[in-house]
């Protein structure tokens, strides 16, 4: 049986007094205590303390203590009328939350998007001068054309829709021809409706 070190013996003493020490470890501890007077004195002191603690009477809690504790706890909060309505109409609530989130994000985008931009599938024949977009006379632009925060002048042909957001559309020249719709959006509400329509159009038609 290997010699036990004093620090291990002290740890085993507490486990032994608590009745949680394995039989093999008990034998090693007992052998160490027979050979180490210092650890033996320490164990005897711990044993006396343990016996003194166990000899003390256990105070029982008053019977009414449980009732007093329960009464001191805060009462459950009653749900408000609108909370109950939300629970009864989850689908409507979800749709309302979706619309609020969409409105907030669109209005935020409207306030933050102050940069000039031009988008469309065919910009090769489009002339851009500063913040002015020109479809030159004798040129044909295929597809939709969208201009944000800029002015538009159409002198040639546009085979698609023209959308001007927060900008200005110069009156069409006699040589101008636009095959699709002309949309001028100058207000956040109109812009929101345009975005919502475009979003659901994308979902329905994939473009």
* 203: confidence class by pLDDT, cuts 50, 70, 90: very low
**Among candidate residues 129, 139, 124, 146, the one with its CA nearest the CA of residue 173:** 139
Pairing of strands 177-178, 157-159: parallel
| pTM for the full predicted model | 0.40
User: Using one digit for the tens of pLDDT, what is the confidence trace for 123-164?
Assistant: 888 999 988 999 999 999 999 999 888 899 999 999 999 998
User: Using one digit for the tens of pLDDT, what is the confidence trace for 162-196?
Assistant: 998 888 898 888 889 999 899 887 755 555 566 65
Distance separating alpha carbons of residues 117 and 166, to the nearest angstrom = 11
């Amino acid at each position: 049986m290997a010699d036990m070190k004093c620090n291990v013996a002290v740890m085993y003493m507490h486990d032994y007094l608590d009745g949680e020490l394995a039989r093999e470890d008990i034998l090693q501890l007992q052998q160490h205590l027979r050979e180490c007077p210092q650890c033996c004195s320490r164990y005897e002191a711990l044993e006396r303390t343990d016996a003194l603690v166990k000899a003390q009477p256990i105070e029982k809690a008053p019977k009414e203590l449980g009732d007093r504790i329960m009464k001191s706890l805060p009462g459950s909060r009653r749900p408000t009328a609108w909370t109950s309505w939300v629970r009864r109409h989850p689908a409507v609530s979800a749709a309302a939350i979706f619309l609020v989130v969409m409105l907030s994000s669109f209005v935020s985008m409207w306030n933050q998007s102050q940069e000039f931009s031009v988008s469309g599938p065919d910009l090769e024949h489009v002339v851009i001068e500063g913040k002015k977009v020109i479809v030159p006379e004798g040129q044909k632009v295929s597809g939709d054309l969208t201009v944000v925060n800029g002015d538009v002048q159409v002198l040639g042909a546009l085979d698609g829709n023209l959308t001007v957001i927060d900008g200005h559309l110069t009156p069409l020249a006699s040589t101008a021809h636009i095959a699709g719709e002309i949309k001028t959006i100058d207000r956040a509400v109109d812009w929101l409706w345009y975005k919502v329509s475009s979003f659901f159009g994308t979902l329905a038609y994939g473009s």
